[in-house]
Structure 1
Amino acid sequence: MQRFAAARPSIEQRIVQAANAIEHSRRAAVNLASEAAEQGIRPFGPLARHGDGVVNEIGTAALPERVEPQVETRADAVVLTVRRAGRVVLDGVRLGIRVGGVDLDAGSVLLRSHVREITDEWTARSGKATGTHRYTHLETVHELRHDSGVEWQIHVRASGDGVAVRYALARLEGHGRLDADRTRLTFEPNARVWALDYQTWYETPRFGADLAELRPGAYGFPLLVRSPRAGVYLLLTEAAIDGRFSGAHAEIEGGGEVRFTLADEPVEITRGPVTPWRVFMIGDLAGIVESRFVDELAPAPLDSFAGAQWVRPGRAAWSWWSDFYSGAQLHRQRHFVDVAARLGWEHLLIDCGWDETWVPEIVAYASRRGIQVHLWVVWHDLDGPENLAKLALWRSWGVAGIKVDFMESESKDRYRWYDTILAETARLGLHVNFHGSVIPRGWSRTWPQVIGYEAIRGSEYYVFYQDTPLTAAHNVIQPFTRNVVGAMDYTPVAFGAPGRTTSDGHELALSVAFECGITHFADDVDAYLAKPDAARFLAELAPAWDETVLLAGDPDHEAVIARRHGDRWFVGGIATGPARRLTVPLDRLALGPADAWIVGDGAEGGLVSDRRPVDDKLVVDVADDGGFVAIVAARGTRLHRAVERPEHTAPRVDPPVQLLGPDGTAVLRTGGHLRLPPGWSAQHLDGDRWKLNAPAALAPGRAGVITVEMPGEDGVPVVAHARLFRPLTPGPHRLSAMTMVAFDNESGPIERDQSNGGGNPGDGRRMSIAGTEFDDGFGASTPSRIELYLGGSADRFTARIGVDDETPGTAARMSVHADGAELFSADVRAGEPPLDIDVDITGAAALSLRADTLPDHPEPAHVDWASGRLHRTGTATTTPAER
């Protein structure tokens, strides 16, 4: 075999020799520290207890253990060996790739090696520890030549947390083909593994098993292994992925072999790196849980995005889980804002069902309490330039972020889509939370606006799969695996979950044990208010963390995590198995005498709270599959500080609704900052007057929403909106093409060009009244109200109305109102033919279309405003725009 060495030391090798000399000195320091520990001077971490007093060492040495990788070539392989503190912890790791049908790891020779020290830093806006982080890696680039003449590289990074490897083709001309990643390693049969069956959205349950018990097959990263032979834990995953690559997963085969397998085989490649980093974290559990190695390996952000001070971690109210169709109900979203403000939370997520008609209104309502609004969207609705432009429109309304869903792919093409979304949300200042997604691989460093990923079987599985509740065992594994590599949007604290086997204390503890940049709480906000101790703790819960520490546990028994914000530590403990007493050491918090407020499992169920002094440990009783939370601070420190968010006055906007003039301009009076939709422009006239210019593409009856911002609570601007409408031109105009000013609807949003359907948007069918079908119109459900602004630019309204055939046996009263006066009404019944109406609306500024239940038919009826048309003959009176 040929080692990566030469007869005469090169400059690179002399650097390594010098580094080794430093390392020997460091080891001597570690040995002295060990001797000190034997004499009662303890530089190591605490002992953690699980079960009935079983002790598990999870502490980290005060001085980091240097990880030393060594790579060697053989006739048929390239092999990596890794030592930690002089002990072999990884042995016989096969390295290599197959390119253009050639296995480069067989028959390659070393040309040269380059060693460099990489010292860098970045500022984390969310995650395990916000603030500026500095790190140092030792990187070796090994250049090889295959017998075929192909030159390739192996990049090896080493830090105190582990080793990472990636492959590169620095001299590739044009395009090539990566057929396979041949990285593989073998563990002993009695190694313990914590894994999940692989799927591209990572939502299968995680479980623990001895390696010999695992069936051959595909398993997802991160994969945690306890190696008895090496005496360490290893976490396998990836880092620094983008649209040049496809993702990878683990394939476990007989004999304990684990190999990296590409999602795409083959992958088109170009010059440079051809794989992301293959990451091998090495150490004890505390070192792995607290590691930021994945982020350290990711590229630095562009200078223009590095600060990203607008990124705001925190807590979010979310109504979808507890009330599936509430995303279409403005009044429900207002209620969630009200309670979120009472609890001091920062965000509101509106899931499936929201409508552009009222999103600006809820954004304005929430902004007055310092709460930012995020919108759910399916990934393909943002695919392509035309769809991507929606992001700029939503941002112009004051929307703060998106939850984008159902990507469900590790392909290179999908990662190119991710690249586009990441760049555009960063440019616009939008937070992004990926659902139905891949696992984190360091994007929160490169793109600080990434505040969450799903990639976990979380609380939504109570909704979709009520017969298979989430287990405590599944939950306890997460802090040691999935959550190690980045933000995890599990949507915790689901008190109302059907079939739940976890205790209330366990559910509440997930709010601390699990980390996400923005934690979206699953349950109805009223469910939290119904449990005062839970509400009080969730109000106190910090929006971001300065430090994260594993206090106790292992993936088979419990996880006790402490996260610091300022001078307070928030502790969350989750357990699996029978009720027991947990004794949690606190010496790593370095508090000395302290006070603790603890909320945990009551003897008769539910939650109980207790305030007590503590010193070096916290003793808590937990129920079956139980848990607890605590706030701990130095004695005498105030533990409770939560306050309700104050309400601010909205900016002045005059007028809030108006018509554009014939030249497409209007004048708006306001003292605030303007945020314009795409294509619009503004000119400051004088004082508080602004001249707004609409794009030529704005169609008659459509409106642009102008956002006015003033400084507000917690750095969140207080906003109000103006709607500027293009007047109708002579002739007929399709009703369903108009911009609604507002609507109310019993079931879901008002549907355009289809029946009401159910509670989701776009779930109707072709409108049908007594068998007569229609191509366009509004579909609604009683009671409902559709508000339109005409500004006097129409003189007739015609439509064919009736009860849609999807609600047989129902009836409704349908009516037309103009400027508050009823102009028409009629009772319509299922099975009756459509009723033709023609209503004079000359001079009307506001038009309201209503459908109400009848006393003898209180059940909802789905009604159609089919073939609706607004007519202008050329003589209609319009409200002039101010000049």
Structure 2
Amino acid sequence: MITSTSPLPTPVAVTELVEGDLTATLTHDGERLLLSATHNGAPAIDPIELGITVNGEALTGTGEITGIHQERIAETYTAYTGKATGTRTVDHAERHIELRSPRGTEWTLILRLGHDGLAFRYQIGTAAAIPTDTLTLGTELTRIPLEGAQRAWVLDYQTWYETPRVGVDLADLTPGDFGFPLLVSRPGGAHVLWSESDIDATNSGAHPVFTREGGPALLVTPADPTLSILAGHRTPWRVAIIGSLAQVVASTLVDDLAPAPSGPITAPRPGRAAWSWWSSQYSGAYLSDQKRFTEYAAEQGWEHVLVDCGWDETWVPELVAFAAARGIQVHLWSSWSDLDGAEALSKLERWRNWGVAGIKVDFMESEGNRRYRWYDAILRESARVGLMVNFHGSVIPRGWAKTYPHVVSYEGIRGAEYYVFYGNPLSAAHNVIQPFTRNVVGAMDYTPVTFSAPERETSDGHELALGIVYESGITHFADDPDRYRERPLANRFLAELPATWHETRLLGGDPDSHALIARRHGDAWYLGAIATGVARTLSLPIGELSGASLDIWLVTDGPGNTLEETLLSAHGGEAIEVPVAINGGFVAIAVPAGTPLLRAKPRAVLPEPAVEPRVATITAGGTATLHSEPGARIRITPGWSALPARDNERDWTITAPASASAGDTGVVTVELPGTDGVPRTAHARFVLPFGEGEHPLSDAPFLSCHNEVGPVERNESNGGGDPHDGTTLTVAGTTYPSGLGVSHNSAVTFFLGGSASTLRTAVAVDDETPDAAAQVSIEIDGTEHTRLTLRSGEAPHDLEIPVVGAHTLTLRTQPLDGAAPAHIDWLNPRLQS
């Protein structure tokens, strides 16, 4: 903010932009550039002081305006997800105000005005004007006054945006750091939602700091105090969505401002997903659990299943094939740090070649430029290989749904996962604010409809309505299938929800009271209402949706936190009074009279493609033959190759890379046409035999695996249910550097292919389970060879077992009747060839 001891000159108008009900005016008083806006002739944005610091120089209104250029931005793009899918039209007025500072620094203020809001950004010179190779971008001087605001809806700033959102009168707002998007109300009913758009690897994210110095205002504060930039650098758009609450909720301005795709487009498959982690945090380690949730997704007619932390690459292809037979696609969780760097990113191509459709990436938790460079890398690589992306522990949406359509959702919200860690972390008031703030700027993976959440204050109707009120490219319904089946009305309603929306409207409400959202797919409207506060009646203006008669299925809160249904009809102009419980809600489906109300169908189960062999050996640089059904598409582990036979449509020549080593496995994915765009899938594995010498099994791929408590751990004890949560393998106080950590009920199978002669290992109960016991056995080609009983505190049992000619080896543990469950260590297991 610029201060002066003498009165400033009267501001002079520089340029004006008009779009519909909005007018933006830029003025200049010799020292300041001031940007203001009106809505329907009334003040909406008081004069913003504009400026940026470059190389220590404050670029503000001092100096001179050297030119003003007017443009019309007219473009169309395809929205694959969001409030309204299909073709979107952008029609914005744009101005480039070119300036030169007293030191001769050239810079440009860029303004955009659309029918739903105003945006501005700074461009720092051009390469021709500033020959310096790099510049230093410093403090942003943007100051957004809030003297005319009445109330604000804010969240305390956190780089992953998971603090509660609250409403507060501006007079009571305490100075501090807040997060975008930030909503304020103005006299006369106008609202302004502040956020950002178009951030890439050259920038960092920003947040507003509220101050009362010089009057209430927001200071735009990037995460990096300084940033090295090149001449011609553009800052992200500072975005103000302006209008009535209905206009704000319907806005797509943040997406509209983002650039068009510059690389390959992976058209996503939006929809609904089953997700097991919320109801069972260790379930990602169990193939059986993932199959159960996949079967439920198929029963509901959904599109996806998300496997959270704990999955093992051994069984993911099997799950992909199981899901694909039902028209379901599989998504895998990963920490961002496991995908950091070119070598780590190569995993994405391998997963895609198994048939995996998407990834959920977690724990980024930063707005800094360094993290945005990581975002840029994973965005481009996931687009290249064809994976959908859902960011958790992440930034908020800033237009990537347009630039990278395969980004289907973000967290950036205190959502249902907080029930897992805290008793009552989510209030109905927090929920009601989201449709007017966070969800306006893009997809929001709240993971809704958690009926079994402990201590929740929301009603069943409120929980069910979150599936409509909140929008996400993929909506992960979080509760266990049995909890949904216990509520048949809810179960049926969740099946009826469509995969995409064609139109979104706010029919009523405000951030302090309730939100009544209507979303259309085809000729059907889906309505959801969530409320905070006392039980009361809400007016549903159903007649606003259609001038024709409508048949309606209404599901509301019943007595004792149950759900009840009502069938009724309505005509144009009518409104329906609907009772809601304390912190309650309701849902409805409205269709043209005489058309089916309930349309969902379960997914059929198709056969997997025939593939032969399913497992075989292959030498480094050598070839093998795969037999498939005619017309198959083949995906294969990167570095391997698959060439079709010249004389028939069934055979493929599989070649292993010359660099492959003993035990390496090439996974071949065979795809044939299926349903709903999901190919029927089967897999084959080609394994390099164990050559001469000794080979540690703790590093070798599994043919199959199962463990009762979390995943099988490599080179650490079993620990708990999460991956990599064990400690050093320890038996009777002695530690061991290598081995496999498993629980009391496990089976790990290796493919030997007749290439090994001897298994050597030791086995014992790990010290992390004292006073425990279990049985262990070793199976060769499915036949038990050795069985032992192990007890805590005993020294390891050393084993040397011949495996000449054997094709499979299984290390198995089983519980011992009457004994406490044990964690077992297979110590330094190795094969001799």
Question: TM-score scaled by structure 2?
Answer: 0.96
Alignment pair present for 1:733 and 2:695: yes
| Structure 2 portions without partners, runs of 5+ | 1-8
Aligned pair partner of 2:26 in 61, 68, 71: 71
SS, match of residue 394 in structure 1: helix
1:375, 1:347 → 2: CA distance?
Answer: 11
Closer, same or farther in 2 for the Cα pair 1:292/1:453, shift >3 Å? same
SS, match of residue 332 in structure 1: helix
Displacement after TM superposition at 1:604 (Å): 2.4
Instruction: Say whether the 8 Å CA contact 2:149–2:184 is kept in structure 1.
Output: no
Indicate the residue corresponding to 2:328 in structure 1.
Answer: 371
| Structure 1 portions without partners, runs of 5+ | 7-12, 24-63, 873-883
Instruction: Say whether the 8 Å CA contact 2:619–2:656 is kept in structure 1.
Output: no
Cα offsets for 1:736-761 (capped at 9, x unmatched): 12111111111011111111111111
1:293, 1:582 → 2: CA distance?
Answer: 30
Displacement after TM superposition at 1:588 (Å): 3.2
Alignment pair present for 1:646 and 2:604: yes
Closer, same or farther in 2 for the Cα pair 1:303/1:353, shift >3 Å? closer
Indicate the residue corresponding to 2:385 in structure 1.
Answer: 428
Indicate the residue corresponding to 1:673 in structure 2.
Answer: 633
SS, match of residue 479 in structure 1: helix
Aligned runs of 1:185-204 on 2, under 5 Å? 185-188=144-147, 191-204=150-163
2:430, 2:450 → 1: CA distance?
Answer: 15
Alignment pair present for 1:823 and 2:785: yes
Q: Which amino acid aligns with 2:741?
A: G
Alignment pair present for 1:555 and 2:516: no
Displacement after TM superposition at 1:214 (Å): 1.0
Instruction: Say whether the 8 Å CA contact 1:189–1:211 is kept in structure 2.
Output: no
1:473, 1:612 → 2: CA distance?
Answer: 30
Displacement after TM superposition at 1:634 (Å): 1.6
Q: Which amino acid aligns with 2:247?
A: G
Moved more, 699-708 or 473-482: 699-708
SS, match of residue 392 in structure 1: helix
Indicate the residue corresponding to 2:200 in structure 1.
Answer: 242
* Deviating 4+ runs (over 6 angstroms): 2-6
Indicate the residue corresponding to 2:801 in structure 1.
Answer: 839
Indicate the residue corresponding to 1:91 in structure 2.
Answer: 46
Displacement after TM superposition at 1:2 (Å): 8.2
Instruction: Say whether the 8 Å CA contact 1:4–1:113 is kept in structure 2.
Output: no
Aligned pair partner of 1:479 in 430, 435, 445: 435
Question: TM-score scaled by structure 1?
Answer: 0.90
Aligned runs of 1:727-766 on 2, under 5 Å? 727-766=689-728
Instruction: Say whether the 8 Å CA contact 2:305–2:331 is kept in structure 1.
Output: yes
Indicate the residue corresponding to 2:461 in structure 1.
Answer: 505
Alignment pair present for 1:344 and 2:301: yes
2:570, 2:543 → 1: CA distance?
Answer: 11
1:639, 1:698 → 2: CA distance?
Answer: 57
Closer, same or farther in 2 for the Cα pair 1:830/1:508, shift >3 Å? same
Alignment pair present for 1:590 and 2:552: no
1:303, 1:868 → 2: CA distance?
Answer: 47
Cα offsets for 1:820-868 (capped at 9, x unmatched): 21111111111010111011111111111111111231x3211111011
Aligned pair partner of 1:181 in 135, 140, 143: 140
1:4, 1:176 → 2: CA distance?
Answer: 31
Displacement after TM superposition at 1:340 (Å): 0.9
Alignment pair present for 1:302 and 2:262: yes
Instruction: Report % sequence identity.
Output: 50
Displacement after TM superposition at 1:100 (Å): 1.5
2:778, 2:566 → 1: CA distance?
Answer: 60
Instruction: Say whether the 8 Å CA contact 1:66–1:85 is kept in structure 2.
Output: yes
Aligned runs of 1:324-723 on 2, under 5 Å? 324-466=281-423, 468-615=424-571, 616-661=574-619, 663-671=621-629, 672-685=632-645, 686-687=647-648, 688-723=650-685
Displacement after TM superposition at 1:439 (Å): 0.7
1:459, 1:549 → 2: CA distance?
Answer: 24
Closer, same or farther in 2 for the Cα pair 1:159/1:486, shift >3 Å? same
1:88, 1:856 → 2: CA distance?
Answer: 77
Indicate the residue corresponding to 1:775 in structure 2.
Answer: 737
1:84, 1:216 → 2: CA distance?
Answer: 27
2:200, 2:359 → 1: CA distance?
Answer: 20
Instruction: Say whether the 8 Å CA contact 1:187–1:227 is kept in structure 2.
Output: no
Cα offsets for 1:157-181 (capped at 9, x unmatched): 0111111000001323321111111
Instruction: Say whether the 8 Å CA contact 2:150–2:186 is kept in structure 1.
Output: yes
Aligned pair partner of 2:768 in 788, 795, 806: 806
Q: How many residues are matched?
A: 813
Displacement after TM superposition at 1:609 (Å): 1.2
Alignment pair present for 1:867 and 2:825: no
Alignment pair present for 1:128 and 2:91: no
Cα offsets for 1:781-802 (capped at 9, x unmatched): 1111111111111111110111
Cα offsets for 1:62-89 (capped at 9, x unmatched): xx73422121222321101223334332
Displacement after TM superposition at 1:190 (Å): 6.0
Moved more, 382-391 or 184-193: 184-193
Indicate the residue corresponding to 1:291 in structure 2.
Answer: 251
Displacement after TM superposition at 1:393 (Å): 0.8
Alignment pair present for 1:210 and 2:165: no
Closer, same or farther in 2 for the Cα pair 1:190/1:85, shift >3 Å? closer
Displacement after TM superposition at 1:302 (Å): 2.4
Superposition CA RMSD, Å:
1.5
SS, match of residue 163 in structure 1: strand
Q: Which amino acid aligns with 1:260?
A: V
Displacement after TM superposition at 1:455 (Å): 0.3
1:395, 1:4 → 2: CA distance?
Answer: 58
Q: Which amino acid aligns with 1:252?
A: F
